[in-house]
Structure formats: structure tokens, C-alpha cells
């Protein structure tokens, strides 16, 4: 079983350059299905989820080529209309985006056993609601729009990143105008909009709505935005170990709610010239409540809660995925004291010791890595492939900060 060994207890310091965002890269990769022309995507991280996405497209006839470092050329001209291989689809949550893109291009898509981190129920009713609003019918596991999609108002009753992405992928190829109400505004959604515009799509934002005028699309080009979740994780590694870590390549504005929680806890936060630095000690408990952007990102909840526990404790409310606390049990094997309460948790100030633990999901696993870096002695994190899904060159990057870490 893949594992990571960490000898912790030493302060980390230095600067990490973050990679392109996983959550932004995957929608862009699947958006290439919308056109028969070549698309180029830059700053793509070489992480497992990207490799699986490319394997899915290749298995359906797309041509995929890595050009210079981090740059991908994808041509889906010869892509076949067929259900993609189940074993790939079920290992990747972002394969839901293939559904929207195929429906946009071919007027037909397949509902499959979509995978991804299993920290909470992850329904797709809103994705299907969007497809139906645009005129598609659901027959068993087929979604069909034989005469093409038609623009419509898609009134979401809550904010969903995945459903917004899929609504966009369908609406850009629908006939006429679509209004997506209550649309997500995460940087990765904005990144997709930039890419779709480069393909010729007409998309504008009106308050919390997106207005889309459907059309044929040409090949497009865009760079993947820097990964704010990866950036946040490395910044927290400084606080976990009593060091000071800087990150470059991600936008401090994207991390505003995260950085303000750290400031409120007493950390020293500096943003200057494209570089973010976090240092110092927390003097107050971390109080955080996750919410859609620009709220506190659910993908930084486990890592930030852990840092709270290493200092003065954390009070966490998880409004996006109320069950996203599986990592607490593994941390309790390293000495964490906590209590769960409804969709929240209290993490008490705890001194962690080295241990052997299992990473059950991507961000919970990242919290285990931070815990191992903070604890004196040797820790082993099993199931590390869950973490490699979202962190490019994690060993090299932590080693460059002075960590003793290897596979
Ligand atoms: C979520 C995060 C996103 C992050 C991604 C990867 C939010 C709002 N979304 O996106 O920032 O990058 O995880 O970890 O922070 N829901 C439904 N029905 C649906 C779809 C979603 O009820 O059809 C619910 C979910 O259960 C959840 C909420 O809507 O409670 C938001 O989910 P959604 O944004 O769709 O999740 P992801 O797209 O996975």
C-alpha cells in the first residue's frame, strides 16, 4: 500500500511555488469535449486526478499531448459517443463534468457511478435538474436531448460548484439564452468561464446569476489558476511546525476568508508582491464556518482545524459537507481530543505524537500530513494516493521547506 513516511518536529521555512489548481484544471480538461478543434491548457498540475481525466478522454478517442512542461493540447474531434470506462469514472468526482460536456456536444450523456472523495453524500440531483431545464430527458441512465439543448432559466436553490460547472458546459452549446441563478463564484468557476470565452462563448455575470448565450465553439486556450487550496496547506505547515512558510503563484484574494481567520487567531500574515507569508503562533482558538466562495473553503477545513488543535483549539461548522470530519478519528490516534456536534466539531488544544494512520480522503489526508510534520518522531501515512490526487510533487515541495519526508 502506498505510504508516506514523515519524521516531524522540525520547523519548516522557505517558499513554495504552488501548482495549477486541481479543481480548476479538471473542468477545463472536460470542457475540451465541447469543440472539435484543438484546445491548449497551460499550468496543468501532473496529479493523479488529471491523469485519470486524460485517460477517460483518450479511451473515448480524444488525442491528448503534453507539450512543454505543464501545457496540454487536447483534440476531441474523433471522440466517440459512448459511456466512458466505469472503472475510471468511479475513481474521479470530476467525471460528472463529462456528463455536461457530452450533453452539450452530442445531445447525449450517461449517468454513471461517479467517484471522488467519499466524505459525505454527494448527490447529482442539481446537475440533472439543470439538464432537464435545458430540455434533456432522463431515461434510465441515459440523458437525452436528441434535438439539442434549449436555453432556459436554471434556478438553483443552493450554490453548487459542480452543478454550476455542468450547467455552463451545457448552456454554452444550447440554442438561445440561459440564465443560471444562484451560480457558484469560486475561482475555478471563473477560470472555466475565461476558458469558455476563449472558445467563443458569450457568458456574463449579473449579480449571483450567469447569463449564457449558446453558440458553436472553436478551440480555446487558458492557463489554470494557481491552487489556493495547495497554497493554504503549505502556509499552514509553517504554523504546524513553528516555522514561517511563504507561497507564490496563488492569488491572496482567493484566500481572503482563510487568511482573515488566521489573522483573527493571531497569526502574522503578510501579502506582498505575489507572495503570501504566514508565521507566528495562534493566540486564540480558530473559529471557522465553511461556505461557498467567498466564504471559508471546505477544502481547507480539515487542515485549518488541525492547526487550531495544535495551538488553542478550533470550533468548526461545516455547512457545505456536514459529514466532512472522517479525518478526526485518524488524528485521535495521534493524540487529538475532539467532540463532534451535528454538522460541527470542537477540537481541543492537543499535543500530537507520531503514529501510523490512514488517509481516507484528499484534504483529510493533507491534515494528517500536517499533523505528522508537527509531531516529534516518525509517522507513517498509509493510503497516500488519496492525497496525491491533489498535491503535485508533495515530497519535493515539503523537502524544500526542510521537512524529512519520503515515500
Ligand atoms: C465542492 C466545493 C468546491 C470544492 C469541491 C472539491 C463548495 C460550494 N463546493 O464542490 O469548492 O472545490 O467540493 O472538494 O464549497 N449538492 C446537492 N445536489 C447536487 C450537487 C450538490 O445537494 O446535485 C450539495 C452538496 O451535497 C453540498 C453542496 O450542494 O452540500 C455543494 O456541493 P458542490 O459545490 O456541488 O460540491 P462540489 O462540486 O464537489
Instruction: Calculate the alpha carbon distances from 163 to 116, 166, 189, 247, 301 in Å.
Output: 15, 5, 11, 31, 22
Identify any residues that bridge with 276 across adjacent strands, giving them in sequence order.
Answer: 247, 271
How many angstroms is it from 128 CA to the middle of ligand 1? 14
Band of residue 211 on the pLDDT scale cut at 50, 70, 90: very high
How many angstroms is it from 160 CA to the middle of ligand 1? 5
pLDDT tens digits for 162-209?
999 999 999 999 999 999 999 999 999 999 999 999 999 999 999 999
**Percent of the chain residues past pLDDT 90, beyond the cut:** 90
Residue 99 has pLDDT above 90, yes or no: yes
Q: How many residues does the chain have?
A: 407
8 Å CB contact between 259 and 252: yes
Residue of the nearest CA to atom 24 in ligand 1?
A: 160
Residue 105 has pLDDT above 80, yes or no: yes
Residue of the nearest CA to atom 8 in ligand 1?
A: 292
How many angstroms is it from 320 CA to the middle of ligand 1? 7
Residue 115 has pLDDT above 90, yes or no: no
Residue 113 has pLDDT above 80, yes or no: no
88-116 mean pLDDT: 87
Q: Which residue ranges does the chain devote to CATH 3.65.10.10?
A: 3-18+226-406, 22-223
Residue 114 has pLDDT above 80, yes or no: no
Residue 86 has pLDDT above 90, yes or no: no
Fold type of domain 22-223 = UDP-n-acetylglucosamine1-carboxyvinyl-transferase; Chain (3.65.10)
Higher per-residue confidence, 264 vs 92: 264
Nearest Cα residue to 33 out of 123, 102, 85, 135: 102
Peptide bond into 181 cis (omega under 30): no
pLDDT tens digits for 357-403?
999 999 999 999 999 999 999 999 999 999 999 999 999 999 999 99
3-class SS of residue 159: coil
Residue of the nearest CA to atom 9 in ligand 1?
A: 161
- In angstroms, the CA 150 to CA 145 distance is 9
Instruction: Calculate the alpha carbon distances from 95 to 100, 113, 165, 207 in Å.
Output: 10, 9, 12, 29
Enzyme catalytic residues: 117
Residue of the nearest CA to atom 27 in ligand 1?
A: 320
Pocket test for ligand 1, best of 157, 298, 320 (most atoms within 8 A of CB): 320
Residue of the nearest CA to atom 14 in ligand 1?
A: 299
Identify any residues that bridge with 137 across adjacent strands, giving them in sequence order.
Answer: 144
Pocket test for ligand 1, best of 162, 187, 327 (most atoms within 8 A of CB): 162
pLDDT tens digits for 336-363?
999 999 999 999 999 999 999 999 999 9
Query: Residue 147 class from Cβ within 10 Å (0-12 exposed, 13-18 middle, 19+ buried)?
Result: exposed
Write the Ramachandran bin of 207: left for phi over 0, alpha for psi from -120 to 50, otherwise beta: left
User: What is the 3-class SS of 10-43, one letter each residue?
Assistant: CCCEEEEECCECHHHHHHHHHHHHHCCCCEEEEC
The 10 Å Cβ neighbour count of residue 348 is 14
How many angstroms is it from 298 CA to the middle of ligand 1? 9
Nearest Cα residue to 217 out of 186, 153, 151, 171: 171
pLDDT tens digits for 277-307?
999 999 999 999 999 999 999 999 999 999 9
Band of residue 82 on the pLDDT scale cut at 50, 70, 90: confident
Ligand 1 closest atom vs CA 125: 23
Residue 243 has pLDDT above 70, yes or no: yes
Ligand 1 closest atom vs CA 158: 29
Q: What is the CATH number of domain 3-18+226-406?
A: 3.65.10.10
Q: How do 177-181 and 209-213 pair as beta strands?
A: antiparallel
How many angstroms is it from 251 CA to the middle of ligand 1? 22
Binding pocket residue ranges, ligand 1, CB within 6 Å: 23, 93, 122-127, 158-163, 184, 186, 292, 297-299, 320-321
153-167 mean pLDDT: 97
Give the pLDDT of residue 123: 87
Give the pLDDT of residue 131: 97
8 Å CB contact between 279 and 318: no
Amino acid at each position: 500500500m502506498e505510504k508516506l513516511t514523515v519524521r516531524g518536529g522540525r520547523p519548516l521555512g522557505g517558499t513554495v511555488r504552488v501548482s495549477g489548481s486541481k479543481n480548476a484544471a479538471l473542468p477545463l480538461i472536460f470542457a475540451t469535449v465541447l469543440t472539435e478543434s484543438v484546445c491548449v491548457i497551460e499550468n496543468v498540475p501532473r496529479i493523479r486526478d488529471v491523469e485519470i481525466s486524460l485517460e477517460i478522454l483518450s479511451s473515448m478517442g480524444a488525442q491528448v499531448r503534453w507539450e512543454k512542461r505543464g501545457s496540454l493540447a487536447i483534440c476531441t474531434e474523433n471522440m466517440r459517443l459512448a459511456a466512458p470506462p466505469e472503472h475510471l469514472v468511479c475513481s474521479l468526482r470530476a467525471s460528472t463534468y463529462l456528463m455536461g460536456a457530452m450533453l452539450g456536444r452530442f445531445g447525449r450523456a450517461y449517468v454513471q457511478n461517479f467517484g471522488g472523495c467519499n466524505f459525505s453524500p454527494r448527490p447529482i440531483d442539481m446537475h440533472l435538474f439543470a439538464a432537464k431545464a435545458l430540455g434533456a430527458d432522463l431515461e434510465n441512465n441515459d440523458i437525452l436531448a436528441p434535438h439539442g439543448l434549449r436555453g432556459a432559466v436554471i434556478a438553483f436553490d443552493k450554490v453548487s460548484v459542480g452543478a454550476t460547472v455542468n450547467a455552463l458546459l451545457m448552456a454554452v452549446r444550447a440554442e438561445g439564452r440561459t440564465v443560471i441563478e444562484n451560480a457558484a463564484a469560486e475561482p475555478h468557476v471563473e477560470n472555466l468561464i475565461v476558458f469558455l470565452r476563449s472558445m467563443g462563448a458569450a457568458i456574463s455575470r449579473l449579480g449571483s446569476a450567469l447569463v449564457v448565450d449558446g453558440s458553436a465553439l472553436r478551440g480555446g486556450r487558458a492557463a489554470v489558476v494557481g491552487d489556493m487550496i495547495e497554497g493554504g496547506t503549505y502556509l499552514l505547515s509553517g504554523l504546524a511546525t513553528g516555522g514561517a512558510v511563504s507561497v507564490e503563484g496563488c492569488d491572496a484574494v482567493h484566500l481572503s476568508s482563510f487568511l482573515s481567520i488566521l489573522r483573527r487567531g493571531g497569526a502574522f500574515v503578510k501579502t506582498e508582491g505575489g507572495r503570501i507569508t504566514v508565521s507566528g503562533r495562534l493566540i486564540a482558538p480558530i473559529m471557522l464556518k465553511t461556505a461557498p466562495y467567498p466564504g471559508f473553503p471546505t477544502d481547507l477545513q480539515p487542515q485549518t482545524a488541525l492547526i487550531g488543535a495544535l495551538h488553542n483549539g478550533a470550533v468548526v461548522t461545516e455547512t457545505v459537507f456536514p459529514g466532512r470530519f472522517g479525518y478526526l478519528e485518524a488524528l485521535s490516534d495521534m493524540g487529538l481530543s475532539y467532540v463532534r456536534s451535528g454538522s460541527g466539531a470542537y477540537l481541543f488544544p492537543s499535543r500530537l505524537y507520531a503514529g501510523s494512520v490512514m488517509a481516507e480522503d484528499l484534504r483529510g489526508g493533507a491534515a494528517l500530513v500536517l499533523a505528522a510534520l508537527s509531531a516529534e518522531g516518525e509517522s507513517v501515512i498509509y493510503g497516500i494516493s488519496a492525497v496525491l490526487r491533489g498535491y503535485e510533487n508533495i515530497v519535493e515541495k515539503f523537502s524544500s521547506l526542510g521537512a524529512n519526508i519520503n515515500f
